[in-house]
Amino acid sequence: MTEQPLPQGVWAAPGRVNIIGEHTDYNDGYALPIALPQVVTCAAAAATGGYVRVTSRQHPGETVREPLAGLADSEVTGWARYPLGVVHEYLRRGHEIPGVELELDGAVPVGAGLSSSAAVECSVAIALRDLFGLPVTDTDLIDIGRAAENSYVGAATGTLDQSASVLCTAGHALFLDFGKGEHAQVPFDLAAAGLALLVVDTNTPHQLVDGGYAKRRTECERAAAALGVGSLREITDTADVERIADPVLRRRARHIVSENDRVLTVAETLRGGGDPRAIGPILTAGHASLRDDFEISTPQLDAAVEAALSAGAHGARMVGGGFGGSIIALIEADRTEPTARAVAARFRAEEFAEPRTFVAVPSAGAHRVS
């Protein structure tokens, strides 16, 4: 096999955490994510011969080489299916790619609920757009990534992760209105208020293709149908969900309706220049809703939230699709280490895997590096 040519460019796309707004995207609701400083990079070079070749520095010694004409029927599984899905989606939409070689390198923790898969998809999507000069908008990039994950990988996600990875800007949270397809930047400078957003990766990887995520999506659709609306976004009063006879569907709907309200309240507080500490209890309420009504938390996530709150966090909640992953805790900037130690001590006491922590700083969306 010939040596991979030098890359013609390197592109990067970030992971994300939601300040608030989980499972609202596929319900036409609202969310408020930030992009992380951790990114996935994609070094890309045009090639001839009608093939795509993918390598990853996180998977040394593994090289995937597939003919472009055979991508629709490819049986490749695992990490390489995400970039292949993006290439396939470009081709399916009629864009011309004569051949391409991709090398991935990722710093977004995998399985931590921080959208590592979307970071892969968006880094590849923007690389292909720029490399081949394809007439693709940011909206198209987001939809290409979503389609790759839904149809090619098999995870029934919405567009939240890809939207955050493409549209976020440094120093801001991104307000997303999925029903109207609109977005806006919301100032989010915790450092100026003497605060920090601590991410705790519980080291319990989740897999959205395992079925729990898709089941929740179906339950939300059934709940909307029971209420006679097209999506749960149309319901703005949690009292209305009491009309749903099925107790499971009633709980699912209550989370979505209340979560939309939490997003709007947090966004309004931040836009108005209020003290960010005020959003802490809203974050904690969001965790309770995900734990009790949406039922996607885990003992590790609950323990991390409880430990952070006991250590003085203003608020804490799980983030991402659930069934594992990470939490965020809104803390005083000088409480980073004590909070991390408190969570680690709780995990040792519970005999859980050792957690990993870092401070999340609102960062830029997908862009060309070189």
Active-site positions? Answer: 161
Cβ-contact 107, 358 below 8 angstroms: no
CA–CA separation, 109 and 113 (whole Å): 8
Chain centroid to Cα 220, Å, comes to 19
CA–CA separation, 24 and 232 (whole Å): 9
What secondary structure does DSSP assign to 31-95, as a single string?
A: EEEEEEEEEEEEEEEE-SSSEEEEEETTSTT-EEEEEGGGGGG----GGGHHHHHHHHHHHHTT-
Query: Which residue, 16, 293, 301, 56, is CA-closest to 162?
Result: 16
CA–CA separation, 108 and 39 (whole Å): 6
Cβ-contact 31, 21 below 8 angstroms: yes
CA–CA separation, 197 and 335 (whole Å): 10
> What per-residue string of b and e applies to 92-128 under the rule 16 or more CB within 10 Å gives b?
eeebebebbbbbbbbbbbebbbbbbbbbbbbbbbbbb
**Backbone Cα Rg of the chain:** 20
CA–CA separation, 44 and 98 (whole Å): 13
